Chains A and B, each alone.
Chain A
Amino acid sequence: MFSLRLPIPIENTLITPPPKSNNNNTYNSSLCAHSYSSYSHSQTNRFLTVRNVALQKNGNSVGDSKDTMMQPFPEELNAEPLPRHVAVIMDGNGRWAKMRNLMPSAGHQAGAEALKEMVRLCASWGIKVLTVFAFSTDNWVRPKVEVDFLMSLFEKTINSEIDVFIREGIRISVIGDASKLPSSLIRMIKYAEESTKENSRLQLIVAVSYSGKYDVVQACRSVAKKVKDGILDLEEINEGIIEQELETNCTEFPNPDLLIRTSGELRVSNFLLWQLAYTELYFDGALWPDFGKEEFVEALSSFQQRKRRFGGR
């Protein structure tokens, strides 16, 4: 089976983290220098937790200060095993905003900030692929004003992050049904994918207008077309053939080792269905804008305690 052919490597694939600074304040104060300064945080040298967000108008992006991109590897975690591919269902933006009597758009904006932090941590700690569920095929039923805002937010965020991605070695890929997206967003996506395609430190896969079922359907269509065109025999259709056609074929590591879902719901909501066959699932009650380094470390720590058997003993 596919997942059995890819044993999870136990060797440390991390880029050697920078020597730990004795002066943690360097990290904290420099983090405060940009958009995170508006987040309240505890006085101790604990991980930042995001609370009452007052977003800055210019929405500074991750890594404005070069020092802040690298986050030291947490002491609580072992160097191995680390998930090679982490997937996230970023749930809870709407509820986060509602609790603060804000419009859903404010929640999505805060969610974008949480995502930037997540990208930064993954890049720092040697995770190779981060796939995030930004917009489902099922989300098109939401109010038009919210959908339009989200499309605009995606475009703006991609645009503001491209330079950082190029500088930090992050490759961006977008999966999903592009036919429904505004053309300006499609152009931005193409530009970003092209600009960052040589980067290899971290691959950020953003699922927009995506669903697991959509992915399987389009893969099946591709396979059926190959059979119809005589390129493929019926008997040759197997798991590997399907996998090559899934939209996660944009990465060398298509199957998440760890799936994180925030906001407490216990379901996968039509995300990567095929790819999640042997993924370790982790559910956190925090709403997505509140999911930060502390919560991510807990998720990784949980992953490190899992016993993965892939059907065997």
Chain B
Amino acid sequence: MFSLKFPIPIENTLTPPPKTNNNNNNNNNNNNYNKFSGCSYYCSVYANDKLRGGIIRSPPTSNVALHNNEASVVGGWPETTEAKEEPFPEELRAELMPKHVAVIMDGNRRWAKTRGLFPWAGHQAGVEALKEVVRLCCSWGIKVLTVFAFSSENWIRPKVEVDFLMSLFEKTINSEIDDFNREGIRISVIGDATKLPSSLLRMIKYAEESTKENSRLQLIVAVSYSGKYDVVQACKSVAKKVKDGILDLEEINEGIIEQELETNCTEFPNPDLLIRTSGELRVSNFLLWQLAYAELYFNGALWPDFGKDEFVEALISFQQRKRRFGGR
């Protein structure tokens, strides 16, 4: 199976981060992070370079300081450059790392609700959690990270929330492109583009084009996506090829379908590990075909609270799994 053919490299392929700061100095930046209670522990990571795996996560504070009920977005990577590369956790074995990790980032709204905030504050905090997981995947040699940002079924949510999310995606992609290029991250977006605002579509195309040569980590963002949508569009493509005489009916097999799925944008389309936060035990129409042999990991933390600790636990769990792929 896929994950068995690719040994995980253990050499350090990281390029040293640049030493210059961005606009803000360190103090201001820490204050910005404090605006998210869910980000309070990020400060301890960046401030203390002696911290190893197993950060003690401070509980969410009740006095979140938000301006006008909006959390300010701190774009890009943290300012302390030595913190960008996260040392490989001692609890993990490099040769047992999953090549492709998928995440259902569930719990943003509940996170906001428990703090008396609007849902979009939860989504904002969720973006910060995603940036952290991207950083960790980069640091630890994971090759593909696929995240479920917006499902086909999420279009039924209140318009104000949907509009905010579309705007958040656009803003976040825009603010991250430079960092992605610097860090060797390639971004791909899968899903039904026909429903997306044209400005977001343009931003996506630009980001995909700008980062397509990057090869350290591929971040696949599923927006307006569902596993069923993916199979339907693959089936349509296959049927068209048969109709056009390019393909015979008898040639249709698993490989043919897989080539048409939207995960054909990556060399490693099948997640080894799926993480779902917030405690729900279901896959919610995410990568249905691709999850056939994925190890599933469910965490009770709400997505904005999912950080390095939780990710290490998920990876530890993965490394203990016995994968048999139907055999003995």
Of all chain A residues, the one with the shortest Cβ separation from B327 is A141
Smallest beta-carbon distance B184→chain A, Å: 31
Chain B residues with Cβ below 8 Å from A211 are 292
**Looking at the complex, which of A24-32, A39-47, A168-176, A217-225 is the stretch in contact with chain B?**
A217-225
| Contacting residues of chain A (112-161) with chain B, CB-CB under 8 angstroms | 136-139, 141-143
Q: Does A77 contact B (CB under 8 A)?
A: no
Inter-chain contact A1/B285, CB cutoff 8 Å: yes
Q: Does B213 contact A (CB under 8 A)?
A: no
Chain B residues with Cβ below 8 Å from A273 are 227, 288-289, 291-292
Q: Given A213-B292, A239-B228, A274-B228, do A227 and B243 touch, yes or no (CB 8 Å)?
A: yes
Q: Does A277 contact B (CB under 8 A)?
A: yes
Q: Does B71 contact A (CB under 8 A)?
A: no
Bound Cα distance A278, B298 (Å) = 15
Bound Cα distance A136, B327 (Å) = 10
| Contacting residues of chain B (126-165) with chain A, CB-CB under 8 angstroms | 151-154, 156-158
Q: Does B56 contact A (CB under 8 A)?
A: no
How many chain B residues sit at the interface, stated as a range, is 35 or more
Chain B residues with Cβ below 8 Å from A138 are 325-327
Chain A residues with Cβ below 8 Å from B226 are 1, 277
Inter-chain contact A224/B327, CB cutoff 8 Å: no
Inter-chain contact B228/A2, CB cutoff 8 Å: yes
Q: Does A311 contact B (CB under 8 A)?
A: yes
| Contacting residues of chain B (279-328) with chain A, CB-CB under 8 angstroms | 280-285, 288-289, 291-298, 321-322, 325-328
Inter-chain contact B293/A267, CB cutoff 8 Å: yes
Smallest beta-carbon distance A271→chain B, Å: 8
Q: Does A306 contact B (CB under 8 A)?
A: yes
| Contacting residues of chain A (56-77) with chain B, CB-CB under 8 angstroms | none
Inter-chain contact A276/B288, CB cutoff 8 Å: yes
Chain B residues with Cβ below 8 Å from A50 are none
Q: Does A280 contact B (CB under 8 A)?
A: yes
Of all chain A residues, the one with the shortest Cβ separation from B318 is A266
**In this complex, which of B226, B229, B235 has the most chain A Cβ atoms within 10 angstroms of its Cβ?**
B235
**Tally of contacts, chain A with chain B, CB under 8 A:** 151
| Contacting residues of chain A (275-313) with chain B, CB-CB under 8 angstroms | 276-283, 306-307, 310-313
**In this complex, which of A219, A279, A281 has the most chain B Cβ atoms within 10 angstroms of its Cβ?**
A281
Chain B residues with Cβ below 8 Å from A307 are 280
Q: Does B257 contact A (CB under 8 A)?
A: yes
Chain B residues with Cβ below 8 Å from A238 are 232
Inter-chain contact B156/A266, CB cutoff 8 Å: no
Q: Does A102 contact B (CB under 8 A)?
A: no
Bound Cα distance A206, B259 (Å) = 30
Q: Given A266-B296, A311-B154, A311-B285, do A223 and B239 touch, yes or no (CB 8 Å)?
A: yes
Bound Cα distance A211, B291 (Å) = 13
Q: Given A274-B288, A277-B227, do A234 and B281 touch, yes or no (CB 8 Å)?
A: no
| Contacting residues of chain B (179-202) with chain A, CB-CB under 8 angstroms | none
Q: Does A269 contact B (CB under 8 A)?
A: yes
Q: Given A267-B293, A269-B326, do A234 and B240 touch, yes or no (CB 8 Å)?
A: yes
Bound Cα distance A202, B173 (Å) = 51
Inter-chain contact B292/A269, CB cutoff 8 Å: yes
Inter-chain contact B153/A224, CB cutoff 8 Å: no
14 of the cross-chain contacts (CB-CB < 8 Å) are: A136-B326, A213-B289, A214-B254, A221-B249, A221-B252, A228-B239, A234-B236, A237-B239, A268-B291, A274-B228, A276-B288, A277-B226, A279-B283, A283-B281
8 new A-B contacts, CB < 8 A, other than A242-B232, A266-B298, are A94-B328, A143-B328, A217-B254, A227-B242, A237-B239, A239-B232, A274-B288, A311-B285
B contact set with A: CB distance below 8 Å: 109, 151-154, 156-158, 226-229, 231-232, 234-236, 238-240, 242-243, 249, 252-254, 257, 280-285, 288-289, 291-298, 321-322, 325-328
